[in-house]
Amino acid sequence: MTNTTRIALLVTLAAVARPSAQSTGPSPLAADADRLAAAVQPKVVSWRRDFHQHPELGNQEVRTAGIVAQHLKALGFEVQTNVAHTGVVGVLRGAKPGKVVALRADMDGLPVTEEVDLPFASKVRATWNGEEVGVMHACGHDNHVAILMGVAEVLAGLKDRLPGTVKLLFQPAEEGGPQIGEVAGAELMIKEGAFDNPKPDAVFGLHVFPFPVGTVAYRSGGAMASTDDLRIVIRGAQTHGAMPWRGIDPIVVASQVILGLQTVVSRQIDVTLTPSIVTVGLIRGGVRANIIPDQVEMAGTIRTFDEGTRDEIHRRVQRTAEAIASAAGATAQVTINRNYPVTYNDPALTDRMLPTLKRAAGAEHVVAVPPTTTAEDFSYFAQKAPGLFLFLGVTPSSQDPATAAPNHSPRFFADEGALPVGVRTLTHLTLDFLAQP
């Protein structure tokens, strides 16, 4: 059973959420917020379909960002554009003093050719890494942008009674920039000051996922994995395939290294602490059958849910690869590029906002779920302020979530019935947090 299938089944069974230690009462503005959310819903659907039909790759979200910026300016937000290339930051200052809440939506599409039969299906083509590709919102970011634009309109309608400040972060390149290893997305937005002046006291975000439509799924603590790129180059000595003793075979060494790396998680790390993964997804070496090459390249990914475990895995991966190669007379050059940190939901904030989630989505639709080994650069924002990142179910009620196409699939489909739940959830999280003393 895949991780996504297991989680989907648990969600379908409706896991019971734990009680809240610090209950959050509803904002006095809740009823008016619901009225405004209902009124803006047709626009949210229209925006979502437009963005879906016109997806843009990371750092190329010029059209999307332009629509967002124009909308925020019309609502009276202070707007900053061209943040981290194409990002948009909007600030709404309420009439009353108070705390600062940040809400984030990612805007980029993926180099995927859409296979869903929709009247607003994407036909866009673009260039990615020097190759012509189809472009699709295969991860559902079109939903995120439309939802946050709807939330912006609701909150702007309450500005005269709003306590505190709301900062909206429309982020480019969540899926990464066009250059490998490039600093982009949330990390670059932070470097360029998007989280400053004013600095948020809390940050909220959500992501559509193949759970039953309207479900709001959460996890306290480590919710999504850190992700790191692994590259290992094994260097031996080239020789004739008929005389292996005259050289050092890097293919055999690489095979031993791959097997050895599997013991890092299974035998060298305390498996009771956190799930972890070391995967080699690429191995390349040699040019013909009767030549033992001089080197082999491997590449893979490392995932875990704890920063201390992350550091320990890095150290042990390097030690294991180098020691195995040395024992055979070869060398191993290990390079680990740290990507997104663990997406960590602040436990106190999660407990405090749980009653809000139940009011916004309906208690029967709010469920606790296991961690997922996918990753999110919302994690950078959650390192700067207490964060809560949620999953919004978009699988139609007529379909088994366990069989739904996952995110990043050309057949990924999002039921628009989830859109009003997304708007209500982010709106009520904002209002209830700001209403607290």
Active-site annotation, residues: 340, 416
Q: Please provide residue 48's backbone torsions phi and psi, each rounded to the nearest 5 degrees.
A: -60, -45
250-269 burial, b if ≥16 CB within 10 A, otherwise e? Answer: bbbbbbbbbebbeebbeeeb
Tell me the residue type at 273.
L
- What gap in Å lies between CA 159 and CA 156, rounded to an integer? 5
150: left (phi over 0), alpha (psi -120 to 50) or beta: alpha
Q: Which two tokens stand for residue 93?
A: 């200052």
- What gap in Å lies between CA 229 and CA 390, rounded to an integer? 25
Write the CA distances from 79 to 92, 206, 275, integer angstroms: 9, 22, 41
**Nearest residue to 230 via CA among 165, 315, 167, 290:** 315
By the 8 A CB rule, do 32 and 134 touch?
no
Strands, DSSP E only, in 137-213? 163-171, 202-212
By the 8 A CB rule, do 341 and 379 touch?
yes
Q: Which two tokens stand for residue 317?
A: 């991966």
By the 8 A CB rule, do 187 and 106 touch?
no
